[in-house]
Structure 1
Amino acid sequence: MSQVEPISSIGTYDLASPIKRLAGYVVDMAVVFFVLFLKSVMLHFSFRFSSELGLTVFQGVDYFLTLLAFAYFLFCDALPNGQSLGKRLFKMSVVGFPYGPPCTVLQSALRNVPKALFSILDGVFVFFGFRRRLGDMLARTVVVNL
Structure 2
Amino acid sequence: MMSDSLTATGTFNLASRSKRLLGFIVDMAVVFFILLLKYLMASLAMRFYSTFGQMFFQVIDAVLTLLAFGYFLFCDALPKGQSLGKRLFSMSVVGYPYATNCTPFQSFLRNACKMLFSPLDGFLVLFGLRRRLGDMLAKTIVINA
What TM-score bracket applies, with the shorter chain setting the length? over 0.9
Counting only pairs closer than 5 Å after superposition, residues 10-89 of structure 1 correspond to structure 2 as 10-89=9-88
Q: In the aligned structure 1, how far is the partner of 2:101 from the partner of 2:128?
A: 21
In structure 1, the gaps of 5 or more residues are 1-7
- Is the helix fraction higher in 1 or 2? 2
Judge conservation of contact 2:31–2:71 (CA < 8 Å) in 1: yes
In structure 2, the gaps of 5 or more residues are 1-6
Residues 5-30 of structure 1 show CA distances to partners (whole Å, capped at 9, x for unaligned) of xxx43211110011100000000000
Aligned counterpart, 1:5: none
Judge conservation of contact 1:98–1:140 (CA < 8 Å) in 2: yes
Judge conservation of contact 1:93–1:102 (CA < 8 Å) in 2: no
Offset, 1:121: 1.0
Report the RMSD for the aligned CA atoms in angstroms. Answer: 0.7
Give me the TM-score of the superposition, normalised by structure 1: 0.94
- The 3-state SS of whatever aligns with 1:64 is helix
- The 3-state SS of whatever aligns with 1:99 is coil
Aligned length: 139
Judge conservation of contact 2:9–2:129 (CA < 8 Å) in 1: yes
Offset, 1:38: 0.1
Residues 7-58 of structure 1 show CA distances to partners (whole Å, capped at 9, x for unaligned) of x432111100111000000000000000000000000000000000000000
